[in-house]
Amino acid sequence: MTETMRAAVIHAFGKPLTLDMVPIPQPGPGQVLVHITASGLCHTDLQLVQGDWPIKPALPLIPGHEGIGTISAIGAGVTTLKEGDWVGIPWLHSTCGVCEYCATGREALCPKQQNTGYTVNGTHAEYALAEEAYVAHLPNTVHSAEAAPILCAGVTAYKGLKETEVKAGEWVVIAGIGSLGHLAIQYAKAMGIHVAAVDVVEEKLSLAHTLGAEVTVNATYQNPVARVQHLIGGAHGAIITAASSQAFQHTISMLRRGGTCVLLGLPPGNVSVPIFDMVQKRLTLRGSINGTRRDLQEALQFVAEGKVHAEIELYPLSAINMALERLAQGQVLGSAVLQTAE
């Protein structure tokens, strides 16, 4: 008789997920089966459910790509992991390993990559499969639920900061203080970078201040461009985590001459770019998505050293639709995390 598990499943875009009983997957060669204890909710989950991305996954699908748990079974040929190991399952499920991007340390750009919870079933379930070479090895000191957001939000924020090329002692603007943004503040501070935080929710800006942001700007009633330019003379770099077209346009204008703006959030549709300013001020606009396995291990090391921690709201797996709604409304303070054991 086939064993089953609970899983949150999307059957149709724009519809609530259902909590289904589905077969527990079995690991194939080079794979491990992970008993999930916590799974972080990412804004990508929300965009997946809404069908916002131009490339849509096949349905039905179990979303989720910030899964934490212990290995309960291993497939043939697995040599570096064993049952009971404490691991995380990130967005990057696998890559081809041989293309020009994989060969030059840019595996997050691999055109043949598979993504957890998007092209393969993910971690919003009691069990999930992972490739041996792509699981994250977690420090024993890192608590389950608090570690989950690092597997996507954390590494994405950390990689985005690296892409700004901002140095210690310089200024970075972080636009959007959600799951990515509140972690980006902490990574920036750990790297010796000054932070200006921009959001439209006062509670999130209070959190940003608590986490070390020296400047906070509420874009609801303050002009964020004028405020940042006046207070710090413009930022050396900026990362946009908010899925807002207006945030994209504002943040580019917060840069000082020669600055770099890194795009992390993914608003639906296109945004306009101030070409004249881009040319005259020699600004750089750069996309960044997730990170490599090396980036992830570096991001986790900051957590292990106590320099970065995720502020989390816990929800049972059965409350995934409520949690997604709170995420959509911008009501989550920090990161939302699902617990699979109820």
* Both tokens assigned to 158: 């950390």
pLDDT digits 0-9 by tens, 47-72: 898 888 888 899 999 999 999 999 99
Q: pLDDT > 70: what percent of the chain?
A: 98
pLDDT of residue 43: 86
Q: Indicate whether 144 pLDDT > 80.
A: no
Q: 154-287 in CATH: which number?
A: 3.40.50.720
For range 288-305, the mean pLDDT:
92
CA distances from 279 to 64, 134, 323 (A): 40, 40, 42
Q: Where are the domains of the chain?
A: 4-150+291-339, 154-287
Q: Where are the beta strands (DSSP E) in the chain?
A: 4-9, 18-23, 31-41, 67-74, 86-89, 92-94, 114-115, 127-131, 136-137, 171-175, 194-199, 215-218, 235-240, 255-263, 284-287, 312-316, 335-339
* Both tokens assigned to 50: 């809404």
pLDDT of residue 269: 66
Query: Which of 139-153, 187-201, 268-282 is most confident?
Result: 187-201
CA distances from 301 to 269, 309, 321 (A): 36, 11, 32
Rounded to 5 degrees, φ, ψ at 217 are: -135, 125
Give 309's contacts (C-beta < 8 A, 6+ positions apart). 146, 186, 303
Q: Indicate whether 215 pLDDT > 80.
A: yes
Please give the helix or strand (H or E) that residue 62 lies within, else none. none
> Which region, left, alpha or beta, applies to residue 14 given φ > 0 means left and ψ of -120 to 50 means alpha?
left
pLDDT band with cut points at 50, 70 and 90 for residue 182:
very high
pLDDT band with cut points at 50, 70 and 90 for residue 187:
very high
Q: Among 12-26, 90-104, 142-156, 203-217, where is mean pLDDT lowest?
A: 142-156
Residue 35 CA to residue 245 CA, distance in Å, equals 38
Q: Indicate whether 114 pLDDT > 60.
A: yes
pLDDT of residue 243: 72
The CATH number of domain 4-150+291-339, selected from 3.90.180.10, 3.10.20.30, 3.30.2010.10, 3.30.450.40: 3.90.180.10
pLDDT digits 0-9 by tens, 250-270: 889 999 999 999 998 776 667
Q: Indicate whether 80 pLDDT > 70.
A: yes
pLDDT band with cut points at 50, 70 and 90 for residue 41:
very high
CB 105 within 8 A of CB 292: yes
pTM: 0.93
- In DSSP notation, 196-223 reads EEEES-HHHHHHHHHHT-SEEEETTTS-
CB 87 within 8 A of CB 285: no
For range 283-299, the mean pLDDT:
91
For range 132-141, the mean pLDDT:
90
Give the amino acid at 244: S
Q: Indicate whether 1 pLDDT > 60.
A: no
